[in-house]
Amino acid sequence: MRYAFGLVCALLLVCSACDQPNKTASSGSETTSPVQESADSETKMVSFQVDGMTCPSGCYTTVRSAIAKQKGVVDVELAPQQKEDVIDNPTVFVKYTGQLDLDATFKAIERVGFEPKKL
C-alpha cells in the first residue's frame, strides 16, 4: 500500500512538472475560453468530489489541469480546506458555459489517476 501511494505521488509530481507552463483556469490560461454573449454563454456550475487528491500543489494541480482542458470550462476551484497544505475536502467546483460533457470530464480525471464522484 505504501509503495502504491509513493508511486502515485511520484507520478503526480512528474505530471505536475509537465503542467508548469500552464496557469490556473481562473487566471486566464490558454485552456480556458472567454465568456461570450450568446444564449449558451450563461455561466453554470457543477461540483463533484475527486477521491485520491491529498495535496493542493500536486494532486489538485493535476486534476485542475485535466478539467480545464474540457470544452466550455472557464474556471476550476477547490473547496475551502481546513489546512493549507492538505486536502480534507476533495470537492471541486467547475464553472462552464454551454454544455459540459461530464462523462468526458470524469474520464480525463481518471486518466490522470483520480476517481471523480458525483455529489
> pLDDT tens string for the chain (119 positions)?
333 333 334 333 334 433 333 333 333 333 333 333 345 679 999 999 999 999 999 999 999 999 999 999 999 999 999 998 999 999 999 999 999 999 999 999 999 999 999 98
Closest alpha carbon to 116 in 48, 65, 54 = 48
Please tell me the total count of domains within the chain: 1
Q: Which domain CATH number covers 107?
A: 3.30.70.100
Domain that holds residue 37: 2-118
Q: Which residues pair with 41 in a beta bridge?
A: none
By the 8 A CB rule, do 76 and 64 touch?
yes
Hunting for cell 470537492 — which residue is that? 91
Q: Which residues pair with 93 in a beta bridge?
A: 47, 77
- CB atoms under 10 Å from CB of 67, counted, come to 25
Q: Whole-model pTM above 0.75?
A: no
The Cα 10–Cα 79 span in angstroms is: 24
Predicted local confidence at residue 61, as pLDDT: 96
